Structure 1
Amino acid sequence: MDNIDKRNRLDDSPFHFRVLKDKTVFIEYEGKQVKTLKGREADKFLKKMKDARDEKEMQLIMAKVTGNFKRGNERKN
């Protein structure tokens, strides 16, 4: 896993998620909502998060689910 996050951006924990009562999952990147998961996709995500070993692995799961966050050209506002 060390080779995946070469710039150590996931150490800052830029991703967060919240779950509603109907199991809809909202994933945020630096406070902005970037992805919504429902149904089977949300269940699969929550299972992966439950099985994650540590915070960095959780960050990596969220980065992969949101997609397109590995190019290094994300803007900082």
Structure 2
Amino acid sequence: MGQAREFDWVERSNGTVVIIHHGRIAGTLRGARAAEFLAEVDDDPQLVMARWTGNYRHGNERTAKQHPRNRG
């Protein structure tokens, strides 16, 4: 089974990159920032888009890891 994709991105003809999260625009990058994003997005697209939009590490990861349901 494939991994769920929360993020997607579109490169427009004018060089602008639009990052979409759950069907809504999460960020728009232009110029040098768009070029930097395009160079980096090939590694792990979901992680890269999460970092670029700020939807990354909310501080509750440690708490969730210690929850009885998530203990190994």
Q: TM-score, normalised by structure 2?
A: 0.71
C-alpha separation in 1, matches of 2:31 and 2:46 = 21
Q: Tell me, what secondary structure is at the counterpart of 1:13?
A: coil
- Report which of the two structures shows the higher radius of gyration computed on alpha carbons: 2
Deviations 1:13-67 (A, max 9, x none): 10000010111000010100010000000000001123x1xxxx11000000000
TM alignment of 1:1-77, pairs within 5 A: 11-50=3-42, 52=43, 57-71=44-58
State percent identity of aligned pairs: 34
Find the counterpart in structure 2 of residue 6 from structure 1. Answer: none
Structure 1, unaligned runs of 5 or more: 1-10
RMSD: 1.8
Instruction: Tell me which stretches of 4 or more aligned residues in structure 1 moved more than 4 Å.
Output: none
Shift in alpha-carbon separation, 1:32–1:65, aligned structure 2, 3 A: same
TM-score if structure 1 supplies the norm length?
0.67
Q: In structure 2, what residue type is equivalent to 1:38?
A: R
Alignment-mate amino acid for residue 60 of structure 1: L
5+ unaligned residues in a row in structure 2: which ranges?
Answer: 61-72
